Amino acid sequence: MVDRLAALRELLADDPDDPFTRYALAMELKGRGDPAGARAELEALLTRAPEYLATYYQLASLLHAEGDSGRAADVIRRGIELAGEAGDAHTAGELEDLLDDVTG
């Protein structure tokens, strides 16, 4: 059986700027109960590929769950702005719903 986490880390070592692989690694860490590891990968992804819109929802969700709703709201607002610039109404809408949850 292939260790998905090890495989993702190996792929990321080969191409540290691949946003899909870094996102997949973050989701794998989150799924394994490592929110701090997931958050670190999402933070890195935000820096390396700010246009990767899925990052904003996942990072904000983790921040909110950790009690950092202010930072979560900031991340969401930036994601909404970028989704609007990209013409991605679906992602913008999901982020707006999350913002309501975080600030409501």
pLDDT 10s digits, 68-93: 999 999 999 999 999 999 999 999 99
Q: Give the residue ranges of DSSP H helices in 15-53.
A: 19-31, 35-48
The pTM of this model reads 0.93
User: What residue ranges define each of the domains in the chain, with the CATH number in brackets?
Assistant: 4-103 (1.25.40.10)
Instruction: Locate 101 and state its tokens.
Output: 């949850």
What pLDDT is recorded for position 104?
A: 87
What pLDDT is recorded for position 79?
A: 98
Instruction: Locate 10 and state its tokens.
Output: 């190996």
- pLDDT per residue as tens digits for the range 30-68: 999 999 999 999 999 999 999 999 999 999 999 999 999
Nearest to 29 by CA among 50, 69, 52, 58: 58
